Chain A
Amino acid sequence: MTDPPAIEFAHVQYRTTGNRILLNDLSLSVQRGEILMLLGASGSGKTTTLKLINGLLQASEGQITIDGKPLQDWDLIRLRRHIGYAIQEVGLFPHYTVRDNAALVPRLENWPPQKLKARVDEVLHMVGLPPQEFAARYPNELSGGQRQRVGLARALAADPPILLMDEPFGALDPITRVALQREFKQLQQRLNKTVVFVTHDVGEALLLGDRIALMESGRLSGVFAPRDFLESSDPAVKPYVEAFRAMQQVFD
């Protein structure tokens, strides 16, 4: 038997307590080691999809399976420590230093101090925040982009096999963003994690994704290989491709 997909959605619906349907009939699977890009307009349900994966929200209908095991059979605490999550609003602890924020999950998992320190130094370097300069600072002593990178470090620190990343490079200047995208791509070739990566940026989706899932008002419009995405005649895809091409023409 082949490996089960790392993440599988079967006909998932999510309704709010007020009975608003935010996601409808979502079926999707993410293979182990794959980077799936979630692309879609603001309010299309990307963040909601991520929150369903780590159990912050519960599906109203349908079935979500993680590593072959139905979500409801997982111990939620274990599941969440198995999944790194870089949150859109970041949500750093304001009373923790950068080091303590980044160390959160390994500390919950009782890593020995030596290993913990080495790992936190490593991830802080990885996200471009040298520990000698940044480790002792508090979040209110950082810029928005620096905070976002601490959020990223926190998601990576415990080396989880699955990563959820909600516009992790959104608040970064283009130079830092490209550097981190490159770093991420190299890292991925080494570590082979399963990643669901939310972005608004078609260029980023094409650059980083193994596949691109396009969402539109709570539904999945389709899943494409990056190459097919640019050629697709799907009416949902076209506006994105046109916008992307228009952008490129400006530079040509």
Chain B
Amino acid sequence: MFNFIFSHKREVLALTGEHLWLVGVSMLLAIAIGVPLGILLTRRPRYRGVVLGGSNIVQTIPSLALFGLLLPLPWLGARADRLAILALMLYALLPIIQNTFVGITGVDPPVREAAAAMGMTSRQILWHVELPLASGVIVAGIRVATVICVGLATIAAAIGAGGLGEFIFRGLSMVDNRVILAGAVPAAIMALAADQLLGLAQRLLTRKRH
């Protein structure tokens, strides 16, 4: 297997790069959309059912089916990587929205009440109290979503979006385990690295209070 990886170094690197790009862009989008949505849900609880329910349904759609379902979309369907990014982002949304919501609503009520009682505006409470105190839980959600995304992104190769899945699908059709592993091992390492890195961030954010 390592021989195969070494002899295909360039391709392994290129596909790893693509994989990182797919995961990175979809995670950034998922954070940019998921965190504000989670905050919105704490302010407008009546949307809670719709948003959490909706993103929950997305989670239950098998990934291959979701890629297929999105295919007819106009601008997005035209390019496989756009499509893959959209699908990955949809999968990443639920843990991020949910953890943002849970993190903020989990702030100790007397702390929130004290903040209001001291004359903080609701914007100040959000930035100086709720988000910092929820940050550990939010990062935990991002961590789960990232690990899921790294795994799911291998399936993006099925619609031609590239990434380490290329090796896996090629290996499957060639019935060659070395080729499958050349995709699976770097993907696993990437998932572990992301997990460790975000775990560290999580610990740093919560270190001073338990």
A139 at interface by CB-CB < 8 Å: yes
B121 at interface by CB-CB < 8 Å: yes
Q: Provide the residues of chain B in CB contact with A115, threshold 8 Å.
A: none
A137 (CB) vs chain B CBs: closest residue? B208
Q: Provide the residues of chain A in CB contact with B113, threshold 8 Å.
A: 56, 87, 89, 91
Report whether A140 and B111 are in contact in the complex, using a CB–CB cutoff of 8 Å: no
| Bound-state Cα–Cα, A139 to B209, Å | 8
Report whether A81 and B118 are in contact in the complex, using a CB–CB cutoff of 8 Å: yes
B119 at interface by CB-CB < 8 Å: yes
| Bound-state Cα–Cα, A140 to B108, Å | 14
Nearest-neighbour CB distance to chain B for A87, whole angstroms, equals: 5
**Complex partner residue of B114 from A78, A87, A95, A138, CB under 8 angstroms:** A87
Report whether A140 and B210 are in contact in the complex, using a CB–CB cutoff of 8 Å: yes
A90 (CB) vs chain B CBs: closest residue? B110
B126 at interface by CB-CB < 8 Å: no
Q: Provide the residues of chain A in CB contact with B120, threshold 8 Å.
A: 77, 104, 108
Report whether A138 and B118 are in contact in the complex, using a CB–CB cutoff of 8 Å: no
Report whether A138 and B208 are in contact in the complex, using a CB–CB cutoff of 8 Å: yes
Q: Is the interface of B mostly helix, strand, loop or mixed?
A: helix
| Bound-state Cα–Cα, A91 to B108, Å | 8
| Bound-state Cα–Cα, A80 to B119, Å | 5
**Complex partner residue of B117 from A80, A93, A94, A108, CB under 8 angstroms:** A80
B175 at interface by CB-CB < 8 Å: no
Q: Mark A84-114, 1 if CB is under 8 A from B, else 0.
A: 0101011111110000000011001000000
B205 (CB) vs chain A CBs: closest residue? A95
Could you tell me which residues of chain B, from 101 to 135, have a CB within 8 Å of some CB in chain A? 108, 110-121, 124, 129, 132-133
Report whether B116 and A80 are in contact in the complex, using a CB–CB cutoff of 8 Å: yes
**Complex partner residue of A91 from B110, B132, B133, B208, CB under 8 angstroms:** B110
Q: Provide the residues of chain A in CB contact with B111, threshold 8 Å.
A: 91-94
A154 at interface by CB-CB < 8 Å: yes
Q: Provide the residues of chain B in CB contact with A54, threshold 8 Å.
A: 117
Chain A: interface residue total (CB-CB under 8 A): 25
Is the interface on chain B under 10, 10 to 19, 20 to 34, or 35 or more residues? 20 to 34
Nearest-neighbour CB distance to chain B for A225, whole angstroms, equals: 30
Report whether A154 and B209 are in contact in the complex, using a CB–CB cutoff of 8 Å: no
**Complex partner residue of A78 from B112, B116, B119, B208, CB under 8 angstroms:** B119
Q: Mark A113-126, 1 if CB is under 8 A from B, else 0.
A: 00000000000000
Nearest-neighbour CB distance to chain B for A96, whole angstroms, equals: 9
**Complex partner residue of A108 from B124, B129, B132, B133, CB under 8 angstroms:** B124
**Complex partner residue of B118 from A78, A85, A90, A140, CB under 8 angstroms:** A85
Known: A138-B209, A139-B209, A140-B209. A93 touches B115 (CB 8 A): yes
**Complex partner residue of B119 from A90, A94, A108, CB under 8 angstroms:** A108
A81 (CB) vs chain B CBs: closest residue? B119
Q: Provide the residues of chain B in CB contact with A78, threshold 8 Å.
A: 119
A95 (CB) vs chain B CBs: closest residue? B132
Could you tell me which residues of chain A, from 147 to 169, have a CB within 8 Å of some CB in chain B? 151, 154
| Bound-state Cα–Cα, A76 to B116, Å | 10
Q: Provide the residues of chain B in CB contact with A85, threshold 8 Å.
A: 114, 117-118
Nearest-neighbour CB distance to chain A for B78, whole angstroms, equals: 46
Q: Provide the residues of chain A in CB contact with B208, threshold 8 Å.
A: 94-95, 138, 140
Nearest-neighbour CB distance to chain A for B124, whole angstroms, equals: 7
18 sample A-B contacts, Cβ–Cβ < 8 Å, listed by A number: A77-B121, A80-B116, A80-B117, A81-B119, A90-B114, A91-B108, A91-B114, A91-B117, A92-B114, A93-B111, A93-B115, A93-B133, A94-B108, A95-B208, A104-B120, A105-B118, A108-B124, A138-B209
Interface residues of A (CB under 8 A from B): 54, 56, 76-81, 85, 87, 89-95, 104-105, 108, 138-140, 151, 154
Given A77-B119, A89-B113, 11 more contacts at CB 8 Å?
A: A54-B117, A76-B119, A77-B120, A79-B119, A91-B110, A91-B113, A93-B115, A94-B209, A95-B208, A108-B124, A139-B209
